[in-house]
A and B are shown apart, each in its own frame.
Chain A
Amino acid sequence: MKDFNHEKTHVSEVDRSIYDIKDKVDSSFEVNSGLTSDIVSRISQEKNDPEWMRLFRLKALETYHKTPLPIWGPSLDGLNIEDIVTYVRPKTDMRTNWSDVPDYIKNTFERLGIPDAERKSLAGVGAQYDSEVVYHSIREEVAAQGVVYTDMESALTGPYAEMVRKHFMKLVPPSDHKFAALHGAVWSGGSFVYVPPGASVEIPLQSYFRLNAPGAGQFEHTLIIVDEGAYLHFIEGCSAPKYNVANLHAGCVELYVGKNARLRYSTIENWSKNMFNLNTKRAVVEEGGTIEWVSGSFGSHISYLYPMSILKGKNSRMEFTGITFAGEGQNLDTGAKVLHSAPNTTSHITTKSISRDGGVSTFRSAITVTPQASGSKSSVSCESLMLDSISRSDTIPVMDIQCDEVDIGHEAKIGRISESAIFYLMSRGLSEENARAMIVGGFAEPIAKELPLEYAVEMNNLIHLEMVGSIG
């Protein structure tokens, strides 16, 4: 029997050259690597924080020092927070006009396709370069609806300061875990969005995050409040050039979905493969409201990412659609958490994961149904595809059901690409690499369908690059 394994073409590491564009580090201000209350105070001062925020940061720092590292997930060896420059700011102030953004920053964004996206009917772009928001715009018609889209720093002192103070790190308190505490102490940049009652934002708001300086951490904070009956689609996209120093991303996303409101939150994360991505995302949904998460995780060395939805009001809903692609040297631990705490709430989780070249992908789900959540429904479906025998895929579902009248379903499938499918596609003229890429792309298609078009294209390109390599 002919051994198919011998015919397999080794697919090497993807050519990341278009993502790995490094600019000279040109920062006006860098704090020392270690993290002390002096440093946190300096950050606070530099940012012109209000007094309450300065105190908040210092308290969070205390919590950070007291809190141990998590011991249940992928190894965080190689991450030494003392080495991480937490705060790097490029030599540019806030910009509101694309033409004012410095060329070296613009060039990098352009190669990442960001200006195109901007031209293509996007409502507003807050593109974060290193730790500071350098570019920010919002379409007039969106502002005319009373929608506020600004960077977090401005939001802290602007007309919505009270609203920010009332919501900031209330959903994800610094005591949540060590990296939430770290975030509370050193957060910088990010977006604030407020959608007033009844407003429907027809075009998605987008934000791009990117790391540039070696050893720089990224701690952006996203706070979105969608008021009663309003609708918003927010897109967060990430891409970072590769450095050899361990990089840390510990952002925080807090989403407040009002009564009968709907928020769709899409993310495509493509961090360079030395990144520790320890992001915390959480939404609370009031009566009749809906949170929809769409999440694609491709990059990073280690990820801990489990967006949580608190279904607080009756008839509130959550949907989570996610995909994870773990290649060589990657351990991506992702999933979703739901707390059903009101009657007739619904959660629907669909995920796909792909692992290759020794990559590890773990899917965790945690569904909690409280005694008052009668009539609630939850379904979890996860499918994994392992592309070779050295890769790994795990599923860890946790369910805590404290109520009788509920409808709960869980389904998990783990598979490999069948050789007969490869033969079939090759018999139509496709090379083996392309046949595999087509099968993997098809596997990911239900998720791609949920992404905005340019992201779906980017994801398909990424999968193709990952599968076929840099063959031009």
Chain B
Amino acid sequence: MSKPLLEIVDLCVSVEDKVILDGVNLKVNPGELHVLMGPNGTGKSTLVSTVMGDPRFTIRRGSILFEGKDITEEKVDARARAGLFLSFQVPEEIPGITLENFLRTARGAVDGRQPKILSFRKELMEQMEALDMNPSYSERYLNVGFSGGEKKKAEILQMLMLHPKLALLDETDSGLDVDAVRTVTKGIRTFSNKKNGLFIITHNAKILEGLDVDVVHILEGGRIVRTGGKELISMITNDGFGALEKEG
């Protein structure tokens, strides 16, 4: 049996002395697709950002393991090179760097060697076409002037081009129209395989249509209050988070 891709043990996280996560435990194995749901402001973004190493958050207690290795103190770029990827809820705009140049540099960084320009470009164009992105976006500055939808597609494009082992998607579907959600789902399906892990934060079951969800976690009050199968999704979609409490 291979090691879990991600293992979070008793994670407590605060920001500016305010405790956000208070003892989170979970495990993602290779090939699994996890969904994290929960009311607004319960720390879902904090969880994935902390796993990626966002310096805004302070780890009070607990540890994060990636493929069995403790990465709690690891630098952000080392986590990325180990195979972690975070799709940002609000991707940064970086003027002056084209999407293509950025991605080529990033691929070189995670692979440890520069990709061949032509084959990289071919791969990029194929992925962009699959994501319904206008090829001219490769020449545009990273996320600058992209619509909300294009930014999210660009995040999925980055995921597909950087070949991580585990992708954390932070509300990648929020603010997207129906077609764009479908495209994002398609991208996720392309990424998903027996080895790769996915950890998706969402409020919307649409993005999960056609995906094989293995595990669903509910985060409330800084803790995982419930873990189950995909039946939890329809329960919450139909009756809201209150349904869980009633069910007790």
Residues of A within 8 A of B (CB): 1-2, 4, 7, 418-421, 423-432, 434-435, 438-439, 441-446
Contacts and interface: CB of A to CB of B under 8 A. Distances in A.
A430 B52 contact: no
Contact of B109 (A7, A418, A423, A431): A431
Nearest to B90: A420
B54 A1 contact: no
A442 B109 CA distance: 18
B75 interface: yes
B68 to A, nearest CB: 21
A429 B52 CA distance: 11
B80 interface: yes
B96 interface: yes
B88 A429 contact: no
B58 interface: yes
B52 A427 contact: yes
11 contacts: A7-B75, A421-B92, A423-B53, A424-B88, A424-B91, A427-B79, A428-B80, A429-B77, A434-B105, A434-B109, A443-B96
Nearest to A447: B96
Nearest to B108: A429
A429 B94 contact: no
Contacts of A2: 55-58
A133 B47 CA distance: 65
A438 B101 CA distance: 10
B54 A443 contact: no
B48 to A, nearest CB: 11
B86 A427 contact: yes
B76 A442 contact: no
B interface bracket (residues with beta carbon within 8 Å of A): 20 to 34
Nearest to B86: A427
A23 B45 CA distance: 59
B94 A426 contact: no
Contacts, number: 87
A172 B78 CA distance: 56
Interface in B103-138: 105-106, 109-110
Nearest to B144: A442
B192 interface: no
A112 to B, nearest CB: 26
Given A1-B56, A423-B52, A426-B53, 16 more contacts: A1-B58, A2-B58, A7-B75, A418-B92, A423-B53, A424-B88, A426-B77, A426-B80, A427-B53, A427-B76, A429-B81, A429-B109, A431-B109, A435-B77, A443-B95, A445-B96
B19 interface: no
A4 B94 contact: no
A439 B141 CA distance: 11
Among A7, A424, A431, A438, residue most surrounded by chain B Cβ atoms (within 10 Å): A424
Contacts of A429: 77, 80-81, 106, 109-110, 162
B146 interface: no
B247 interface: no
A444 B95 CA distance: 9
A312 B39 CA distance: 67
Residue among B54, B56, B77, B110 having the largest count of chain A Cβ atoms under 10 Å:
B77
Contacts of A438: 94, 97, 102, 105
Contact of B75 (A1, A426, A444): A426
| A7, A427, A434 pick with most chain B CB within 10 angstroms | A427
Of A1, A424, A429, A439, the most chain B CB neighbours within 10 A belong to: A429
B97 A442 contact: yes
Contacts of A421: 92, 94
Contact of A430 (B57, B86, B105): B105
Contacts of A446: 96
Contacts of A418: 92
A439 B142 CA distance: 11
- Pick the most buried of B56, B57, B79: most chain A CB atoms within 10 A of its CB: B56
B245 interface: no
B55 A431 contact: no
Interface string B59-84: 00000000000000001110111000
A431 B109 CA distance: 8
A429 B102 CA distance: 11
Interface string B205-237: 000000000000000000000000000000000
Nearest to B85: A427
A419 B88 CA distance: 15
A426 to B, nearest CB: 4
A105 B175 CA distance: 63
Given A428-B162, A429-B109, A423 B94 contact: no
B15 interface: yes
Contacts of B79: 427
